[in-house]
Amino acid sequence: MLRSVIAAAAVTALGIPAALAAAVEPPASAVQGAPDGAAAGSAGDTAAEPFDALVFSKTAAFRHGSIPVGIEAISQLGAENGFTVTATEDARVFSQRGLARYEVVVFLSTTGDVLNARQQAAFERYIQRGGGYAGIHAASDTEYDWPWYGELVGAYFSGHPAIQDATIDVEDHTHASTAHLPDRWERRDEWYNFRSNPRDDVHVLASLDEDSYDPGSGAMGDDHPTAWCHVYDGGRSWYTGGGHTNESYAEPAFLQHLLGGIRTASGVVDSDCT
Ligand SMILES: [Zn+2]
């Protein structure tokens, strides 16, 4: 049922209802803090080819309250930037046929064991055939017993301190998900610590400055990646640790970060993640 409701919302993406548009309208404070041109969808758009994105937000453990807002925001990004967005929590879409029409699968704050063995195998084949994966926030708090998935994401979540402001060092000023950001990106979110540092296996786009906030008991020290991408098993993977709060999805700079991640993972926009 949820699937049909959300799919119906996505179908109206060409003429987004005013209420939906208003829901993702950034608050005045966020607009004021954003550099010119940072508004989602406005930065140097050339006509990228259209593509189809699947947003998957099934949860088997903690459920983030920001999931509906995140789906709305990604649907709006799609409407404004020429890609379709289909949102579902029905894992049965993870079949060869079900995934075939999508250039990218977005795991939006999924948690726990969300796919069975057959669905996992279908997703592995999808990536191996050149598919794209974009993981947001709790996507790293998902499928701990499926090592292939852990490698696809890059690292598993280990814990987090309270929501607070932090400063992110942007390491890549070329990649479409971070090109619009300043060297030092200050924002408020729930900042994930990870079980392992993924730097040896991925291309780090941005990392947290642990001196700028209290990282809690799971601190990672001087090197704390928070967004990255890599080529994995024949497909493309992009991940960001941000996106816990509702407010994240009304932040122009964060939305542009997501847009760049989704586009590069889909393969329609080039990226160097080696
Ligand atoms: Zn969270």
CATH of the domain at 21: 3.40.50.880
Structural domain containing residue 127: 2-266
Average pLDDT over residues 194-219: 98
CA of 205 to the centre of ligand 1 (A): 20
Quote the percentage of the chain above a pLDDT of 90. Answer: 82
Provide the sign of the torsion angle of the four alpha carbons 209, 179, 251, 89, taken in this order. Answer: negative
CA of 44 to the centre of ligand 1 (A): 31
At residue 29, the 3 state secondary structure works out as: helix
CA of 130 to the centre of ligand 1 (A): 29
Does 61 fall in a domain?
A: yes
CA of 260 to the centre of ligand 1 (A): 21
14 burial type by CB count under 10 A (0-12 exposed, 13-18 middle, 19+ buried): exposed
CA of 48 to the centre of ligand 1 (A): 32
202 burial type by CB count under 10 A (0-12 exposed, 13-18 middle, 19+ buried): buried
What residue spans of 109-251 are helical by DSSP H?
A: 117-128, 147-153
CA of 125 to the centre of ligand 1 (A): 29
Does 272 fall in a domain?
A: no
pLDDT at 98 over 50: yes
Residues 191/197, Cβ–Cβ less than 8 Å: no
Does 271 fall in a domain?
A: no
State pTM to two decimals: 0.84
CA of 138 to the centre of ligand 1 (A): 6
Does 232 fall in a domain?
A: yes
CA of 16 to the centre of ligand 1 (A): 28
Spatial separation of the C-alpha atoms in residues 28 and 159, rounded to whole Å: 32
Does 273 fall in a domain?
A: no
Does 132 fall in a domain?
A: yes
Does 170 fall in a domain?
A: yes
CA of 45 to the centre of ligand 1 (A): 31
Domains held by the chain: number? 1
Spatial separation of the C-alpha atoms in residues 242 and 226, rounded to whole Å: 8
Question: Given this model, what pLDDT does residue 49 score?
Answer: 83
Does 274 fall in a domain?
A: no
pLDDT at 110 over 80: yes
